[in-house]
Amino acid sequence: MASISMHLSEYDTLRLPVPGAARYDALTELMLDGGKFEEAGGRTLGDFVSCCCPRLRKLDISSPTGLPQLVIRSETLEELSLFLAEDLRTLDVRAPSMRVLMLQFCFAELESFDTDGQVTNNVARIVAPKLEEIKMRNFGGRRRPELEIHGLASVRRLGKHARAVLPRR
């Protein structure tokens, strides 16, 4: 069981290896605090986690900059925590083993724009049939992102502010 914990300033740029160029087979926990993501040349955090960390169980990301999109496909991920991911516009996670989802103070902008200049809403799409616990806190006065969470039948615990997580009717 291996873990990596990195504490970076907002000025430290984190350049990830190209998917397939590196593998961290023993890595089960990854904690990234701060740092600026530069996702040039197909080097995204989502690709890194999905392709290079096949046994990752816990991912904790705090105060990232330059992370407008996070797409994760993981068979082993059990816990995902995002804190102060203010640049985030799209979160798309497919993790059949995920039990815990925490989104705190993410999606700071009310809306974003697509390549044609059309307004798009921030969105979180989660497919996690074993999801048991959801915690979510938004910025005061901000509209929450569109939430598409599949697998709510297994949810046993909602955090203090999670009532906003339930789908709108």
What average pLDDT does the structure give for the chain? 84
CA 33, distance to chain mean position in Å, is: 13
* Average pLDDT of the residues in 55-66: 96
pLDDT one-digit tens code per residue, 80-135 = 999 999 999 999 999 999 999 999 999 876 555 666 776 677 889 999 999 999 89
Sequence-distant contacts of 118-122: CB under 8 A, at least 24 apart: 120/89, 121/145, 121/146, 122/88, 122/89, 122/90, 122/146
Q: Structure pTM? A: 0.84
165 has a pLDDT exceeding 70 = no
Task: Give Cα separations from 135 to 1, 5, 44, 80 (angstroms).
Answer: 26, 22, 25, 11
Helical H segments across the chain, by residue range? 45-47
Q: Where are the domains of the chain?
A: 2-165
Between 127 and 169, the more confident residue is 127
Q: Does the pLDDT of residue 54 top 90, yes or no?
A: yes
Phi, psi at 38, each rounded to 5°? -115, 105
How far is 14 from 34, CA to CA, in rounded Å? Answer: 10
CA–CA distances in Å: residue 127 to residues 40, 65, 89, 90, 135:
27, 25, 17, 14, 16
Q: Can you give the pLDDT at residue 166?
A: 42
So what's the pLDDT on residue 161?
52
